[in-house]
Amino acid sequence: MDDGADGDGGRRGGIRARLTRYGAFLGTALAIASLLTLAGPAVTAEAASHCSGRAVRTVPFSGGQVVVHKKAGYVCAATVARRSGPRRAMSVGVQARGNREVLDRGRYRSHAGPVVVHAGNRCVRVSGSVGGRSVRSGWIMC
């Protein structure tokens, strides 16, 4: 005659309650970890997702950075703002020596680009801007 207050029934209820609390704790911990992962490391990881290939150069400036990747003779660049926020004027440009600059200009929250050009073995020049702040490299990757 077990009424659940003692003996086996009471212990099972205690174990069940502890498992429920443990499950709730584990679920909360996983949710927090997921949110932190989504927030993620700021600029570089985000830029890497916009261009394929090997990261060859980062050109920093006060508004963010221009990240440059290269793959099979193609150069890809994206301007990534230091902080994501409201839409603002942003741009990224890439110019292979002997060709015109290819630009992406607009009002963006976090990044402009990517812009891809075929450079072969030629030098390239990149530019980027966020708000009123900008950068322009010299000839690089020569």
- In terms of pTM, does the model score above 0.75? no
142 falls within a domain: no
- Are 60 and 107 members of one domain? yes
Range of the domain at 34: 1-40
CB burial class (10 A; 0-12, 13-18, 19+) of residue 53? Answer: middle
Q: Tell me the per-residue pLDDT of 14-56, one tens digit each, with 9 for 90 and over.
A: 666 554 555 554 444 444 444 333 433 344 445 456 899 999 9
pLDDT in the model for residue 16: 61
CB contact set of 67 (below 8 Å; sequence gap of 6+)? 43, 44, 47, 48, 50, 51, 55, 57, 58, 77, 78, 80
Domain of residue 65, CATH code: 2.60.40
pLDDT in the model for residue 50: 84
Q: Tell me the per-residue pLDDT of 117-134, one tens digit each, with 9 for 90 and over.
A: 999 999 999 999 999 999
Q: How far is CA 115 from the centre of its chain?
A: 16
Residue 88 pLDDT > 90, yes or no? Answer: yes
117 falls within a domain: yes
Phi first, then psi: what are they for 101, rounded to 5°? -75, 140
